[in-house]
Structure 1
Amino acid sequence: MAKHVTRRSALTIIACSGASVMSGRAWAEDKTGRVIYPVAVPVYQTQFVADRIGYFKDAGLDCRLIQGGSGVKTREIIASSQGDIGIGDITHPMQLSNHGRAGRVLMPVDTRSSSVIFIIRKDLKDQGITSLEALAAWKRPDGRKPIVSVSSLGGTNHVWASYYMETMGLDDKVTWIGTGNVDTMLGSLKTRQVDVLVSSLSLLNDSVEQGWGALLFDGTDEAIWNKYIGGKVPVTAHFTLQATIDKDPPKMQAFVNALWRATRWIKMHSPEEIYGTIEPYVGSTSRAANILEITALQKVVDYEASVDAAGWARGEKVWFREMTGIKPLTIAEVISPAFIEAARKAYPT
C-alpha cells in the first residue's frame, strides 16, 4: 500500500514553498537534476520545452535530460533513485507503489492518450486486413498469432492498446512484444518482424511516407476514445518517489514550476514553434511527422494539470485489471497536488 506524505514532510513543503515557488531556488545543496523520458517523441514535450526554453535553469536547476529507452526503463530509473523525475504512463507510479516504493504523480500531462495508434504493415493492409477483428483472425505464415509491437510491455502503448483489444474480446488473439525506441520500433515494422506497431502519429506518418505502414485503428480519436473510455482520463504524468520528495521538497517544487511554465508556453505557441524548440529531442522522425503529432497533442494536453474524481474513476477500469497486475489505489495514494497548486499560484495563467 502506498505511503502517505508524513506530517513532517507536509510541514516542510508548506514552510519552504513560499520562497521556493517564487524564486525556484530554495533547496538543499544539490542543484543538479536528472529528468528521465522514455523515447524521442513529442508526447514528452513538456520536459523538452522546460529544458530548451530555460525554465529548469530559471528555477536554479542544472538539469540533464536522459532517454530511458522505454516507459518501463524510465520507471526503473526513478525506482533506483538515479533520476529525480520521470514522465510516462500514470500506471508507472502505481506500479512503484504496489512494489513498496511509493510512487507519486506530481503533474498530469494529458486528458487522453496520443500514442495508441495501430500501424499495420502496408502489405497486410493491401491483403484486406482493415480492422482489428480482421487482424485477430489472420495468422502468420508459420501459423502463429499476429505480432503487435509496443515500446515496452506495461508502458503507455501496451496499457491502452490492450484495453481496446480486451474490450473487443481480441486480446488473446495477438502476441505482444516490446521493441524499444523509435528507430527499433520502426525498424521492426519495416522488416516485417512485427505485423502491427502501436505508437504515435509521427511514427504513423513516417511509415506511410516510406511506403511500409498504414493506419489500422486510431485509438486517439476523440469519438473512439469516448466510446470505450468515456471521457477525460490522466494518461501521461510527471512522477517521482515519495522518498525523493521527502529528501528535498523545494527542489521538487522547482521541477514542477519549470514544467508548469513549459505547459503554459506550449499552449501559447504554434506547432511549428514548438517543433523548432524541441527538434533536438525528436530528430528520429521527420519535421512534417512531428508537426502533425504536436498539432494533435495540443487537443489533448491538460492545460490545467489536474486530476478529478470522475477522471480517476474512468481510468480505474483500465489501470486496475489482470493485464496490468496493479492492485487498486485511491487518488490520494497516487496524486500529490500540492506542488502543481503552488506552481499555479506562482505562475498564473
Structure 2
Amino acid sequence: MAYVSRRSALTIIAGGTASLAAGRARAEDRPGRVIYPVAVPVYQTQFIADRIGYFKEAGLDCKLVQGGSGVKTREIIASSQGDIGIGDITHPMQLSNHGRAGRVLMPVDTRSSSVMFIIRKDLFDQGINTLEALTAWKRPDGRKPIVSVSSLGGTNHVWASYYMETMGLDQKVTWIGTGNVETMLGSLKTKQVDVLVSSLSLLNDSKEQGWGALLFDGTDETIWNKYIGGKVPVTSHFTLQSTIDKDPAKMQAFVTALWRATQWVKTHTPEQIYDAIEPYVGSTSRAANILEITALQKVSDYEATIDAAGFARGEKVWFREMTGIKPLTIAEVVSPTFVEVARKAYPA
C-alpha cells in the first residue's frame, strides 16, 4: 500500500502554557522525537501518524524511538530526550508525583487491551486453568509462580495487579519485568516465567508455537465492567508541562497529527491498518497483529476525551499502594486544549 504525503498549513491557536490564545502558526520542519514502549499495535496511532504522513503534514520531522518498556519510555520523556510518549496514563502521574509535571495530551482507549494472562501450555495441560489454581501451585523449587510483565509499573503490571489484588491473589505470585516482545515471548518459551501478561498478538503467537494458553482475559468487556465499572482512559499520549511551555505550537502539531491518525484508524480495516504499521510490529505474525488490531478498534477512544466519571473509575486503580502514586485531580493531569483545537480543525 502506497501513501503520498502532502505539506499543508496547520492552523493552531498559539500562546499560553496549557491553553492557546488566538493566532495562526506553522511548524516548519521542527525535529521531534516520539517514544513508544514496545512493538505492539496498541501504540498504532503513533505509527499511523508517521506512516500516513500526518507528522510531516504538520511540519514535523519526527523520529520514532522504541523505549523498550513503558517505564523506560517515561524516563526518556522525563529527561526531555523525547517530546511525546505513549503508555499507561499512570506514567505522567508518576512524573507529576516526582516534581516533573506530567501532562496527558489525549487518551487512546476506553479499557485495556493488554491484560491477557498467558500461561505456559504445559501448566495449562496440567489443569491449571484459573488464577486461583495458578496461585495454589508452586514451582519445583517451592517458590511462588512467576508472572511476567513488560515492565514493573507499566500498563500490564498496573492493571493485572489490580485484578489480582481485588481477588486477594496479588501476594501469591512474583512479578518480574521482561522487556520487549522478543524477550517476553522468550521467557515464556523457555519456562523462565509461568505466566505472561500481554496483548492478543502475543497470546496468538504463543498459542501457535505451542508455548502458551489463555488463563484469564482482563480485556473482556464483561470482566472489565465487573471489576472496573466502565470506560477508563488506560493508555495516553503524554509529555511534560515544561515541554509544552517550551514550544506550544510544536505540541499542537503533534496532537493534531495524532488526532488525525486516530480518525484514520476508525475508518480503515484491520488489514489496511496492519499494512500501514507493519514495519513497527514485525516481531509477531500478520495474523496475530490483525487479530489484535481488530480488538483495538473496539476499545479505541475515537473522541479522545477524558470525563470526570471515567477519571473517577480509574482512581481506585491508579492511586493505591502498589503504584505509590499520590492522588491527583483531573485538572492536574489532563491538558485537553490541544485535542480540542485538533478536533475543530479536523472534525470527526
Give the TM bin, normalised by the shorter chain: over 0.9
Report the counterpart of residue 119 of structure 1 in structure 2.
Answer: 118
Q: Do 2:115 and 2:156's aligned partners in 1 also have CA atoms closer than 8 Å? A: yes
Report the counterpart of residue 225 of structure 1 in structure 2.
Answer: 224
Distance 1:317 1:277 in 2: 37
Residues 8 and 238 (structure 1), Cα distance of their counterparts in 2 relative to 1, 3 Å cut: closer
Q: Do 1:93 and 1:104's aligned partners in 2 also have CA atoms closer than 8 Å? A: yes
Shift of 1:10: 5.0
Q: Do 2:116 and 2:198's aligned partners in 1 also have CA atoms closer than 8 Å? A: yes
Q: Do 2:18 and 2:244's aligned partners in 1 also have CA atoms closer than 8 Å? A: no
Shift of 1:9: 2.7
Report the counterpart of residue 3 of structure 2 in structure 1.
Answer: none
- Of 15, 24, 41, 1:19 maps to 24
Task: Give the alignment of 1:1-349 within 5 angstroms.
Answer: 8-10=16-18, 13-15=20-22, 18-20=23-25, 25-26=26-27, 31-349=30-348
Identity of aligned residues (%): 87
Distance 1:131 1:301 in 2: 28
Distance 2:73 2:38 in 1: 9
Two-structure CA RMSD over aligned residues (Å): 1.1
Q: Do 2:18 and 2:335's aligned partners in 1 also have CA atoms closer than 8 Å? A: no
Distance 1:330 1:265 in 2: 31
SS of the equivalent of 2:118 reads strand
Q: Do 1:70 and 1:152's aligned partners in 2 also have CA atoms closer than 8 Å? A: yes
Deviations 1:174-212 (A, max 9, x none): 000000000000000000000000000000000000001
Shift of 1:14: 1.3
Which TM-score applies when normalising by structure 1? Answer: 0.94
Letter in structure 2 aligned against 1:14: A
Distance 1:64 1:35 in 2: 6
Q: How many residues align?
A: 334
Letter in structure 2 aligned against 1:201: L
Q: Do 1:19 and 1:26's aligned partners in 2 also have CA atoms closer than 8 Å? A: no
Q: Do 1:120 and 1:216's aligned partners in 2 also have CA atoms closer than 8 Å? A: yes
**Which has more helix, going by share of residues?**
1
Q: Do 1:72 and 1:155's aligned partners in 2 also have CA atoms closer than 8 Å? A: yes
Shift of 1:19: 1.7
Deviations 1:229-256 (A, max 9, x none): 0000000000000000000000000000
SS of the equivalent of 1:204 reads helix
Q: Do 2:27 and 2:58's aligned partners in 1 also have CA atoms closer than 8 Å? A: no
Distance 1:248 1:37 in 2: 21
Deviations 1:257-305 (A, max 9, x none): 0000000000000000000000000000000000000000000000000
Shift of 1:8: 4.8
Distance 1:258 1:132 in 2: 41
Shift of 1:26: 4.0
